[in-house]
Amino acid sequence: MDPVSGLDRFRSNNNKRQEKSTTASDPAQVTDANNPDAVNVNGGNNSEAAIPRLPVAACMVREQDQYMPIANVIRIMRRILPPHAKISDDAKETVQECVSEYISFITGEANERCQREQRKTVTAEDVLWAMSKLGFDNYIEPLSLFLSKYREAEGTERSSSLFAKCERGDGGMVEYAPVLGHYGPPGFGLAAQQPGMYKAGAMSGYYIGGAGGSGNEGGGAGSSSASQQRQGQSAMGGGFDPFAQFK
Amino acid sequence: MRQAGKYSGFMMCGGIAGRTGPHSLPLARIKKIMKKSGEDVKMISGEAPIVFSKACELFIEELTRRSWATTLQGKRRTLHKDDVASAIVATDIFDFLVSMVSETASHSEDGTVPEEEETVGSS
């Protein structure tokens, strides 16, 4: 890429964004001219590293801090697009800006709810609620699934010291679903449950082998674990019958 | 019975649980943006940015999909900002973004900015 044209594009882009949120100072641009490394902004994967830092004044927010890294945004866009597709620079930037706006929009609504309920902390549930309220309900299912798996992994790590004392497994550190293995979504449901971690909403619909779980909604974590163990073993027998326990 | 190991299972390749692997959006940045969204955003639970990292992926994917549909309608192969703007205008839940694309449209009527047409695999 021709460094001069790249520099021109960088300047005009920089101007465009600085008008929005920061006060541009000329020394930054002079610095750009003197620093050829700063030029190649849009071509490289790690474009963020090539953007020279603006002088940081007390009131100034660095552009990088307002947006998701453009490389990450582009990567996600490319997952959707066919291989031959091209993306214009202004489209990339627009999507990048829209993401930040999305986060602010949802957070604002979630925060309002917290304030109404006189809570100080915006939780994941608040975020999910806000998304549902603002029309993003088709995100709720994949996000709840994602969150459940995250919580399980976190619970798994934290309770590793418990499992170290178990007789089964090789010293306990490796296998967290030791008896029942995995069926359906990996890691789902049976290892290292902490009481109260699973809310009914998170459970619904995501247990393939977990019909016992939904059948035991009234039961505590302990009893549902026990019933799932029995059920798990019948599933391991090869015939997958979520209602085995009811026969 | 095959099990995912602790270090090679589902959760590990995505780099979740506080580790931002190559495919996740940076949690600290998300948190900064959340804090900036209002003066009164006080505390944010650890899980909220994690939910957002996935939500933003879904959002980008949906916006891209819709924008690309507009590109195809125009029988083009380059996704332009106008395609993004059309997608936003056409989608109810993206109404909050309408002001963004109309104001960026007024800024960037700048014929001197050449568009870079990227192909996969180029620098």
Query: Residues A176-230: pLDDT tens digits?
Result: 444 444 444 444 444 444 444 444 444 444 444 434 434 444 444 444 444 444 4
Residue with tokens 């190991």, as numbered in its chain: B5
Do the Cβ atoms of B48 and A126 come within 8 Å? yes
Q: What is the pTM of this model?
A: 0.55
Q: Give chain A's residues under pLDDT 50.
A: 1, 3-16, 18-48, 166-239
Does any domain span residue B10?
Answer: no
Contact status of B58 with chain A (Cβ, < 8 Å): yes
Per-residue pLDDT at A157: 75
Q: How many structural domains does chain B have?
A: 1
Does any domain span residue B99?
Answer: yes
Closest chain B C-alpha to A158 CA, distance in angstroms: 12
Does any domain span residue B14?
Answer: no
Per-residue pLDDT at A199: 45
Residue in B67, B18, B22, B12 with CA at minimum distance from that of residue A72: B22
Per-residue pLDDT at A164: 53
What CATH code is carried by the domain that includes residue B74?
1.10.20.10
Strand partners, A86: B78
Does any domain span residue B22?
Answer: no
Does any domain span residue B11?
Answer: no
Q: What is the ipTM of this complex?
A: 0.72
Do the Cβ atoms of B110 and A61 come within 8 Å? no
Indicate the residue of B30, B112, B120 with minimum beta-carbon distance to A103: B30
**How far is A22 from A45, CA to CA, in rounded Å?**
25
Contact status of B40 with chain A (Cβ, < 8 Å): yes
Per-residue pLDDT at B51: 96
Confidence band of B123 (pLDDT split at 50, 70, 90): very low
Does any domain span residue B75?
Answer: yes
Does any domain span residue B18?
Answer: no
Structural domain harbouring B56:
27-122
Per-residue pLDDT at B47: 94
Does any domain span residue B13?
Answer: no
Indicate the residue of B32, B81, B118 with minimum beta-carbon distance to A94: B81
Side-chain-facing half-sphere of A103: CA atoms under 13 Å:
32
**How far is A47 from B50, CA to CA, in rounded Å?**
24
Residues of A within 8 A of B97 (CB-CB) are 98, 101-102
Per-residue pLDDT at A61: 63
Per-residue pLDDT at A132: 96
Per-residue pLDDT at A69: 94
Give, for B35, the enclosing helix (H) or strand (E). helix B27-36
Per-residue pLDDT at A173: 46
Q: pLDDT tens digit string along B74-85?
A: 999 999 999 999
What mean pLDDT is predicted for residues B101-121?
A: 54
For residues B114 and A140, which has the higher predicted lDDT (pLDDT)? A140
Residues of A within 8 A of B112 (CB-CB) are 8, 12
Q: pLDDT tens digit string along B5-63?
A: 666 655 554 444 444 444 479 999 999 999 998 888 889 999 999 999 999 999 999 99
Indicate the residue of A5, A16, A121 with minimum beta-carbon distance to B45: A121
